[in-house]
Amino acid sequence: MEKETFTIPNISCGHCVNAIKNELTEVNGIKSVEGNPGDKTITIEWDAPATIENIKNKLKEINYPSA
């Protein structure tokens, strides 16, 4: 399992975190998504077939690109 913390400048509240969680949990291989709107980060754990590239692409697609 891989784990990465992404800085997402567009996060402003818990609703943003929930929107990201809802979208990312649809990606095959994502195991967990935790967010902190205070420091504008999302921590994601995943296994194959998910990759860091398709996670970043999904974040960009839903208007929460990582910095």
Q: Give burial (CB, 10 Å; 0-12/13-18/19+) of 9.
A: exposed
Show the domain range for 12: 2-61
Q: How many structural domains does the chain have?
A: 1
pLDDT tier for residue 45 given thresholds of 50, 70 and 90: very high
| Alpha carbon distances (Å) from 28 to 12, 14, 46, 47, 51 | 26, 24, 9, 9, 10
What local confidence, expressed as pLDDT, does residue 29 receive? 97
Mean pLDDT of the chain: 96
Strand partners, 42: 6, 35
- pLDDT digit string (tens) for 11-31? 999 999 999 999 999 999 999
Residue ranges of alpha helices (H) inside the chain are 14-24, 52-61
CATH classification at residue 42: 3.30.70.100
Residue 66 domain-assigned (yes or no): no
